[in-house]
Amino acid sequence: MSIEFSDEEIKADIMNRLLRRNCWSAKYLPIDTLVNWLARKVKPDDKRVRKLIKQLVNDGFLIIHKKGETVSLNSTKSEEIIEYIKCFLKF
């Protein structure tokens, strides 16, 4: 049973997972872990998830650490991140 999610919903889910684990600035999470978590929910397409993570980095929502192996939320855009999550995820 796989449900089709939009790119915006997946981006919001990535940021929500980092937010729940309190991964701001200096506290980070491996990209592979995020991809594995989301590959179960989204079709097993890790290329799509990696592309969306890269887009979030380019938009300034995520910060890359450890030579591109880990990411964290950008604390300077905290309000925008929370609004983005509320807009695209249904609680």
Q: What is the pLDDT of residue 44?
A: 63
In a domain, 64, yes or no: yes
For 49, the token pair is 């998830």
Q: What is the pLDDT of residues 11-62, one digit of tens each?
A: 999 999 999 999 998 999 999 999 988 887 777 678 889 999 999 999 999 9
Least confident of 6-10, 42-46, 75-79: 42-46
Position 59, amino acid: D
Q: How many domains does the chain have?
A: 1
In a domain, 53, yes or no: yes
In a domain, 21, yes or no: yes
In a domain, 2, yes or no: no
Sign of CA dihedral 12, 15, 21, 22: negative
Sign of CA dihedral 45, 22, 65, 6: positive
In a domain, 56, yes or no: yes
CB 1 within 8 A of CB 7: no
For 20, the token pair is 């729940």
- CATH code, 36: 1.10.10.10
Sign of CA dihedral 48, 54, 56, 59: negative
pTM over 0.85: yes
In a domain, 1, yes or no: no
Position 89, amino acid: L
Give residue 25's domain range.
7-88
